[in-house]
């Protein structure tokens, strides 16, 4: 039963074998759909289409009660028992007795196995016990299949997300290269022309603007390259708690102006790890700025650091009491140029994403409108530098 991950196949076999074993008319499985909270027909044997199409054989409340008692219930009075949802149809189908076997896992209702008989009869305790055991096995198999299904869907989503982000990254790097070449011409000429025009006058003013705006473009493109993982981290041993301290110092003023309280819960067991201190600081500053901008006066930010299992990773969590984000925004939040702010460039989180990816880590966002947001950054704990990092810059790169 546990070998197959296809629940339908298992349940088909169980209803068929149950019918045979108990010499019954037929049997059905109804399994609780966790999303709709409806009991859906999963497998049936020996019953007419007309009866099966009628709908749920019993109400959710009755089945929950059945699972709570966790015992096999015999229904002798088809026409009078409230557990039978469609007595007339059941009678016409030739059903004279029903056996309900609950499917539960711990305190959770999974579903019901209902066996139909054409005549009243005595079912031995052994047979009932056996059916309970079968039902338990089925519950475990259903649970296992659901888990696998959930993981598969999570994995598919992750693959799609990674592919999308890497495509955007490649595009960003390509654009950056082309634009930088064009900007080089503009900046070279305009920065030189400035020196050749009268100190006071419209030409000087115009050229000043051209130089200034071109340098701004250079900054944006540098950030795009950071996102597209083209700026490798310069890793040194650093303690993440210290970096959080620095990021908080940078924004101290903002917190004061907006009356924002910051609570830190930094792990005392935190040890130094190889990472790019400046880049990680940039990630934390970006996350904190977003939190500040998402909150009205008097908000609260909570920062927590922890060592992951077996000290293999470092987990940093940022929580705010801000306006939160709808799901549509959450799905696109790390894309470059995606922003929910009126004056945002949409690069802060994209760059942060690139930096964390460059550290072989992961950044995730959780939020609901009106319920704040939380960002979790996970990076691997590295206590020995890799060969790449030990090479250094012996040739004196600028």
Partner 1 sequence: MEPLKILVIDDEQVICSGCRMILSELGHTIDTCNTCKEGLDAIRKLDYHLVLLDIKLPDSDGMEILKIVQVEKSEIHIIVMTGYATIRSVVSAMRLGAFDYLPKPFTDEELIASVEKAMKNVGGSGKVQ
DSSP H or E run through 374: strand 373-380
C-beta closer to partner 1: residue 173 or 248 = 173
Query: Which member of 32, 109, 145, 176 binds partner 1 (CB under 8 A)?
Result: 176
Query: Which member of 143, 230, 317, 389 binds partner 1 (CB under 8 A)?
Result: 230
Backbone CA torsion sign across 49, 51, 55, 60: negative
Query: Which member of 69, 124, 181, 390 binds partner 1 (CB under 8 A)?
Result: 181
| Tokens coding 5 | 């991950």
Which three-class secondary structure state does DSSP give residue 384? coil
Q: Binding to partner 1 by residue 155, rule CB under 8 A?
A: no
C-beta closer to partner 1: residue 276 or 378 = 276
| Tokens coding 392 | 């250094």
Query: Which member of 132, 187, 220, 330 binds partner 1 (CB under 8 A)?
Result: 187
Residue pair 212/183 in contact (Cβ under 8 Å)? The answer is no
| Tokens coding 46 | 């020996």
The window from 25-33, 52-60, 171-179, 326-334 that contacts partner 1 (CB under 8 A) reads 171-179
Query: Which member of 17, 68, 234, 364 binds partner 1 (CB under 8 A)?
Result: 234
Residue pair 320/300 in contact (Cβ under 8 Å)? The answer is yes
> In DSSP terms, which residues pair with 28 in a beta bridge?
44, 114
- Of 54-83, binders to partner 1 (CB under 8 A) are none
* CA-based nearest residue to 279, from 222, 336, 214, 215: 222
Please calculate the CA angle 382-388-394 and round it to the nearest 5 degrees: 125
Q: Binding to partner 1 by residue 387, rule CB under 8 A?
A: no
Q: Binding to partner 1 by residue 186, rule CB under 8 A?
A: yes
φ, ψ for residue 366, nearest 5 deg? -130, 130
C-beta closer to partner 1: residue 76 or 213 = 213
| Tokens coding 109 | 């209702």
Q: Binding to partner 1 by residue 329, rule CB under 8 A?
A: no
- Of 260-299, binders to partner 1 (CB under 8 A) are none
Neighbours of 309 (CB within 10 A): 8
Q: Binding to partner 1 by residue 386, rule CB under 8 A?
A: no
Q: Binding to partner 1 by residue 183, rule CB under 8 A?
A: yes
Give me the least distance between CB of 287 and partner 1, in Å please.
25
Give me the least distance between CB of 280 and partner 1, in Å please.
17
Place of tokens 């022309």: 193
Contact track, partner 1, 330-369, x by CB under 8 A = ----------------------------------------
- Of 196-215, binders to partner 1 (CB under 8 A) are 211, 214
Q: Binding to partner 1 by residue 189, rule CB under 8 A?
A: yes
Query: Which member of 133, 159, 184, 209 binds partner 1 (CB under 8 A)?
Result: 184
Residue pair 195/201 in contact (Cβ under 8 Å)? The answer is no
DSSP H or E run through 117: strand 108-117
Give me the least distance between CB of 189 and partner 1, in Å please.
5
C-beta closer to partner 1: residue 195 or 327 = 195
Q: Binding to partner 1 by residue 395, rule CB under 8 A?
A: yes
C-beta closer to partner 1: residue 163 or 188 = 188
In sequence order, what are the residues at sequence separation of 6 or more whose Cβ sits closer than 8 angstroms to the Cβ of residue 215? 187
C-beta closer to partner 1: residue 166 or 192 = 192
Tell me, by CB under 8 A, how many residues bind partner 1: 32
- Dist. CA 203–CA 330, nearest whole Å: 46
Neighbours of 158 (CB within 10 A): 11
Give me the least distance between CB of 243 and partner 1, in Å please.
20
Backbone CA torsion sign across 293, 295, 296, 300: negative
Query: Which member of 149, 150, 178, 296 binds partner 1 (CB under 8 A)?
Result: 178
In sequence order, what are the residues at sequence separation of 6 or more whose Cβ sits closer than 8 angstroms to the Cβ of residue 80? 87
* CA-based nearest residue to 372, from 314, 311, 330: 330
Burial (0-12, 13-18, 19+ Cβ within 10 Å), 372: buried
C-beta closer to partner 1: residue 198 or 396 = 396
Catalog residues that contact partner 1 under the rule CB under 8 A.
173, 176-189, 191-192, 195, 211, 214, 218, 225, 230-232, 234, 391, 393, 395-398
């Amino acid at each position: 039963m546990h070998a197959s991950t296809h629940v339908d196949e298992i349940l088909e076999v169980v209803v068929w074998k149950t019918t045979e074993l108990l010499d019954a008319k037929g049997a059905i499985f109804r399994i609780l759909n966790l999303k709709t909270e409806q009991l859906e027909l999963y497998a049936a044997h020996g019953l007419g289409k007309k009866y099966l199409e009628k709908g749920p054989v019993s109400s959710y409340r009755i089945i929950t009660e059945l699972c709570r008692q966790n015992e096999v219930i015999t229904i002798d009075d088809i026409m009078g028992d409230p557990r039978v949802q469609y007595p007339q149809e059941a009678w016409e189908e030739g059903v004279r007795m029903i056996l309900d076997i609950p499917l539960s896992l711990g305190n959770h209702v999974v579903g019901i196995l209902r066996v139909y008989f054409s005549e009243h009869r005595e079912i031995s305790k052994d047979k009932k016990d056996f059916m309970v055991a079968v039902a338990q096995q089925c519950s475990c198999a259903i649970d296992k299949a659901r888990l696998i299904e959930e993981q598969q869907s999570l994995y598919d989503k992750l693959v799609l997300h990674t592919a999308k982000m890497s495509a955007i990254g490649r595009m960003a790097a390509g654009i950056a290269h082309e634009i930088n070449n064009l900007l080089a011409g503009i900046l070279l000429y305009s920065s030189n022309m400035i020196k050749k025009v009268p100190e006071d006058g419209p030409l000087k003013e115009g050229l000043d603007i051209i130089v200034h705006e071109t340098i701004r473009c250079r900054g944006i493109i540098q950030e795009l390259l950071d996102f597209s993982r083209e700026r490798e981290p310069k890793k040194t041993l650093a303690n993440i708690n210290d970096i959080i301290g620095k990021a908080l110092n940078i924004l101290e003023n903002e917190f004061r102006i907006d009356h924002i309280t910051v609570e830190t819960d930094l792990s005392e067991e935190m040890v130094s790890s190889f990472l790019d201190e400046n880049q990680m600081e940039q990630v934390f500053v970006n996350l904190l700025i977003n939190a500040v901008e998402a909150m009205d006066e008097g908000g609260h930010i909570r920062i927590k650091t922890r060592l992951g299992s077996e000290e293999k990773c470092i987990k940093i969590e940022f929580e705010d009491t801000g306006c939160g984000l709808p799901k549509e925004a959450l799905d696109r939040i790390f894309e470059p140029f995606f922003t929910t702010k009126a004056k945002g460039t949409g690069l802060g989180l994209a760059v942060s994403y690139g930096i964390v990816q460059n550290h072989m880590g992961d950044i995730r966002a959780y939020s609901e409108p009106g319920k704040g947001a939380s960002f979790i950054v996970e990076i691997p704990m590295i206590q020995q530098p890799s060969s790449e990092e030990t090479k250094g810059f012996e040739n004196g790169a600028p």
